[in-house]
Amino acid sequence: MKLWQIVGGTALSLTLAGCAQHHEAPAQQPPVNTAASPATEPAITGPNVSGSVFINQRVALPPDAVLTVTLSDASVSDAPSRVISQKVARTQGKQAPFSFILPYNPQEIAPNARVLLSAAVTVNGQMTFVTDSIKEVINNGQGTRADLQLVPVVAVPVATKPTALGPMSNPANPGMESSQAPISAVPTQPTY
C-alpha cells in the first residue's frame, strides 16, 4: 500500500516540476514615476523657461499636493491671460525647492508681449500656496530663467447670510428695510 503512495507522490512531483519549467516569469517593468524631478523628464532642447519654486514657510507638503507652474501672456489688459505653457505634477511627498522647465514656441509670443510666470500648490483641490509677486520673463530683456517664491493663501471669511434674524438694515436710511426704496410725493430733481 505504501508503494502506491510513494509512486503516486513521485509522479505528481515530476509532473509539477515539468510544468514549472515551461512557464516563464513575467518581465519586470519599472514603476511609473510622475513626480516633478529633472532625472525623469525628457531633455528639452528648444526654447524654454526654467527655474525653481521655493516655499517661504517651513511646511511639509502632503504626498497628494499638486504643483502647477504656468507661463502666460497677459498683454491684453481687459482679457484673461493666455496660457503659453503649463506643467502640472504631483509632489509625491517631495519638498521644495521644485525645479521646472516650461517649453514654449517663440512664434506664439509677440515682441512686445507681457509674458508672466506663476505657480501654485493645491491640496485636495484647495489652493494653499501661490506666487507672491509677478515674474516677467522672455521679453524686455528679462531672460528665460526665474525662481518663484510661494506664500500661503490667506483664507478670507465671506458672509453668506446676514448674522441677525429679520430684514437687513439700510445704513443710508436707518429703520428702513434694504428692499424698500424711500417714498417721496415729489419726484426728485437733480441739483446743479
| 129-165 tens-digit pLDDT | 999 888 999 988 888 999 999 999 987 777 776 555 5
Query: Could you state, in order of their start, the residue ranges of all structural domains in the chain?
Result: 48-152
51 half-sphere exposure, CB direction, 13 A CA radius? 21
25 pLDDT more than 80: no
Strand, coil or helix: 22: helix
Query: What Rg, from alpha-carbon coordinates, does the chain have?
Result: 33
CA–CA distance, 93 with 186 (Å, rounded to integer): 71
At residue 105, the pLDDT reads 94
Q: What are phi and psi of 17, to 5 degrees?
A: -65, -40
Residue type, position 152, single letter: P
Residues contacting 80, CB < 8 A, separation 6+: none
pLDDT digits (tens, 9 = 90+) for 58-80: 889 999 999 999 999 999 888 89
Architecture of domain 48-152: Sandwich (2.60)
pLDDT of residue 77: 85
